[in-house]
Amino acid sequence: MPNDNNDELVFLALGGLGEIGMNVYLYGLGPPKERQWLMVDLGITFPGPNEPGVDVVLPDLRFIKAEKQSLAGIVVTHAHEDHIGAIVECWPELEAPIYATPFTMGMLKAKQSEFGRQTRLNLNEIPLGGRFNVGPFDLEFVSMTHSIPETSGLAIRTSQGLVMHSADWKIDPDPMAGKPIDPAKMQSLGDEGVDVLVCDSTNVLRDGISPSETDVAESLIEIIKKAKKRVAVTTFASNVGRVLAVANAAHAAGRHLVVAGRALHRVIDVAMDTGYLPPDFRYLGQEEFSNLDRNEIVVLMTGSQGEPRAAMSRAAEGDHPEIKFSKGDLIIYSSRDIPGNEKAISKVQNALCRMGCEILTDREDLVHVTGHPRQDELRQMYEWLKPKALIPMHGEARHLRAHAAFAQRCGISAPVVPEDGDIVKLLPGKPQIVDEAPVGRRYRDGRLIISGQDGPVRERRKLSHVGIAVVSLTMTRRGEVVSDPLVALDGVPINTRDDELMEEIILDTIDGTLESIPQGRRKNHEMVRDAVRRAVRAAFNEEWGKKPIVKVLLHVVD
């Protein structure tokens, strides 16, 4: 491609650096004030314990929304929620064409149908390994092995050089679904000259090579054959290879496969349509569960991350309409805990244990393998691609820094470890941070999308720690108190350490505050409201050592 000396190639993450999930990456080409942008992935993450009531966390797109006329397109590397989950909700802000391979496109269409939105996405299907142009970017999908079919790295050719965006990947010579990585293709890119590798860092802290999906499949067969009672397996719904492995294990053990969970049904439909599950793939719906003997069942379920309304969670609480467990049943967690979900998962597992179920995880047996590269796999990728520089992505801060250090030990330059919002000049020259962009989080809260900076989630967080006190006052316009104040307390102690009623302490505080304000000054109702609020907070702090949220409702009558 022609090299314009005024052009720069920059990289910017609006999510995915310093966290697991919400992957949104931007590549910009051109002079600083005239860049054309390419978005790679547009994902979500799930709320943590400090985000009460939130359904899903979405990226803050204000930077690229302001540049939407320069956004050439959105390329999706694979169909995991942390890479695809925000597209349907956020696309109307961007309105750029979307490019993806057939399976990923099928999952995106299914997701759009699930939302019931009337928005017609601008969808462009690209074949596996396809090469295509998006604005000034010459792009090529490079098939990678991961825990979902058709994961594709992205070779980005520009006037300034070649960048390889790895997406999520591992080296698995015998995956259950899809093709393994093609070493010849990687070596060909290396021979062409990879200037910068932007690479998955999730599993860099572990040495060696990850086991294969086929190893898990063989292990599941042996485990399920030995089981005496019911067997339930929960895994990530998108792991088509694992779905096939569980189905094969059920068949080998002479059991029926039952599937419970809408997400699993959706993935199975798309996988059958695109050839990743055989056309004769058969399973029973959850309504057949109660018609089968305990030793005839393998039930594949959603809920591996403790999601409250998923099939496994509902069964553990005893409120699933069809699935019931009892003593001696084997529950296999064919997954790994996503950081932040540990408490929710533990709650479900403890409920299952109280029923008398046996829990089996990857800590006890080979029932799960990662979809991300360990150190020997990273080293192999470096040898194939021979990148001049590396930018670590997709991981928490410790993963990114460990990846940079590992790459340097392997002889690769990794001069910067960017965070979300850092604009990194990749080419020409050595990568360096040159600017920053606004980033943040937004929340799907019921049917609304709200800001993560302020608003109800922040208030809920405070409510969860200190509760609330609501004071009701009725005054005339002249400042006369018409009736006794009322107070409602929620989430605060009933009694003080001296065993006095907290409500009485607060009512006395309100009375004392009102009496201390001369009647002439009480005409300033805002001043009265603020004085009462501050006095009540101070009284709580004196008696309790904490300051709850205090709301003062002041009613003015003639």
**Pairing between β-strand 448-451 and β-strand 468-476 as defined by DSSP bridges:** unpaired
Distance CA(461)–CA(432), nearest Å, equals 37
Q: What is the mean pLDDT of residues 31-49?
A: 92
Q: Can you give the pLDDT at residue 53?
A: 82
pLDDT digits (tens, 9 = 90+) for 61-90: 999 999 999 999 999 999 999 999 999 999
Please count the other Cβ atoms lying within 10 Å of the Cβ belonging to residue 363: 9
Percent of the chain with pLDDT over 90: 84
pLDDT band at 527 (very low <50, low <70, confident <90, very high): very high
Residue indicated by tokens 């200037």: 195
373 neighbors 207 (Cβ within 8 angstroms): no
Q: What is the mean pLDDT of residues 420-428?
A: 97
- Candidates 341, 346, 331, 338; CA nearest to 300 is 331
Distance CA(71)–CA(91), nearest Å, equals 12
Q: Can you give the pLDDT at residue 117?
A: 61
Q: Can you give the pLDDT at residue 446?
A: 86
Say if residue 490 is exposed, middle or buried (CB neighbours under 10 Å; 0-12, 13-18, 19+): exposed
Alpha helices in 75-212 (DSSP H): 81-84, 87-94, 102-115, 183-192
Distance CA(78)–CA(99), nearest Å, equals 11
Q: Can you give the pLDDT at residue 266?
A: 94
pLDDT at 195 over 70: yes
pLDDT band at 384 (very low <50, low <70, confident <90, very high): very high
pLDDT at 284 over 60: yes
The length of the chain, given as a count of residues: 558
pLDDT at 140 over 70: yes
pLDDT digits (tens, 9 = 90+) for 207-259: 999 999 999 999 999 999 999 999 999 999 999 999 999 999 999 999 999 99
pLDDT digits (tens, 9 = 90+) for 165-175: 999 999 999 89
Q: Which of 30-34, 119-123, 218-222, 320-324 has the lowest mean pLDDT?
A: 119-123
Please count the other Cβ atoms lying within 10 Å of the Cβ belonging to residue 328: 14
Q: Can you give the pLDDT at residue 356?
A: 97
pLDDT at 425 over 80: yes
3-class secondary structure, 431: coil
pLDDT at 280 over 80: yes
Q: What is the mean pLDDT of residues 117-138?
A: 92
Which positions ≥6 away from 473 have C-beta within 8 Å? 481, 485, 510, 514, 528, 529, 532, 552, 553, 554, 555
Q: Can you give the pLDDT at residue 512?
A: 95
Sheet architecture: strand order including 56-59: 56-59, 441-445, 448-451
pLDDT band at 4 (very low <50, low <70, confident <90, very high): low
Q: What is the mean pLDDT of residues 481-487?
A: 93
pLDDT at 2 over 60: no
Q: What is the mean pLDDT of residues 258-266?
A: 95
Structure tokens at 251: 């068949």
3-class secondary structure, 536: helix
Q: Can you give the pLDDT at residue 116?
A: 63
Cis peptide leading into residue 428 (ω within 30°): yes
Distance CA(398)–CA(122), nearest Å, equals 37
Distance CA(287)–CA(290), nearest Å, equals 7
Q: What is the mean pLDDT of residues 416-434?
A: 95
Can you say whether residue 551 is alpha, beta or left, with left for phi > 0 and alpha for psi between -120 and 50 degrees?
beta
Distance CA(473)–CA(29), nearest Å, equals 61
148 neighbors 80 (Cβ within 8 angstroms): yes
pLDDT band at 33 (very low <50, low <70, confident <90, very high): confident
Q: What is the mean pLDDT of residues 2-25?
A: 87
Phi first, then psi: give them for residue 26, nearest 5 degrees: -125, 140
pLDDT at 118 over 80: no
Q: What is the mean pLDDT of the chain?
A: 94
Q: Can you give the pLDDT at residue 113?
A: 83
Q: Which of 131-140, 172-181, 324-333, 447-456 has the lowest mean pLDDT?
A: 447-456
Q: What is the mean pLDDT of residues 475-489?
A: 93
Q: Can you give the pLDDT at residue 52?
A: 82
Please count the other Cβ atoms lying within 10 Å of the Cβ belonging to residue 157: 17
Distance CA(496)–CA(480), nearest Å, equals 31
Q: Can you give the pLDDT at residue 144?
A: 95
3-class secondary structure, 153: strand
- Candidates 83, 111, 58; CA nearest to 444 is 58
pLDDT digits (tens, 9 = 90+) for 292-341: 999 999 999 999 999 988 999 999 999 999 999 999 999 999 999 887 78
Greater model confidence, 446 or 15: 15
- Candidates 533, 496, 488, 542; CA nearest to 513 is 533
Distance CA(403)–CA(202), nearest Å, equals 9
Q: What is the mean pLDDT of residues 2-14?
A: 82
Structure tokens at 190: 């290396």
Q: What is the mean pLDDT of residues 360-364?
A: 95
Greater model confidence, 452 or 133: 133
Q: Can you give the pLDDT at residue 519?
A: 83
315 neighbors 349 (Cβ within 8 angstroms): no
Question: Can you give the three-state secondary structure of 325-386, one letter per residue?
Answer: CCCCCEEEECCCCCCCCHHHHHHHHHHHHHCCCEEECCCCCCCCCCCCCCHHHHHHHHHHHC
SS3 content of the chain, % helix, strand, coil (to 5): 35, 25, 40
Amino acid present at 307: E
Phi first, then psi: give them for residue 367, nearest 5 degrees: -120, 0
pLDDT digits (tens, 9 = 90+) for 176-189: 998 899 999 999 99
Q: Can you give the pLDDT at residue 452?
A: 80
Question: Can you give the three-state secondary structure of 433-491, one letter per residue?
Answer: EEEECCCCEEEEECCEEEECCCCHHHHHHHHHHHCEEEEEEEEECCCCECCCCEEEEEC
Q: Can you give the pLDDT at residue 339?
A: 78
Residue indicated by tokens 């910068």: 196
Q: Quickly list DSSP for 200-252.
A: E-TTTTS-S-PPPHHHHHHHHHHHHHH--S-EEEE--TT-HHHHHHHHHHHHH
Structure tokens at 457: 């989630």
3-class secondary structure, 16: coil
**What structural domains does the chain harbor?**
8-208+370-451 (3.60.15.10), 213-360 (3.40.50.10710), 467-557 (3.10.20.580)
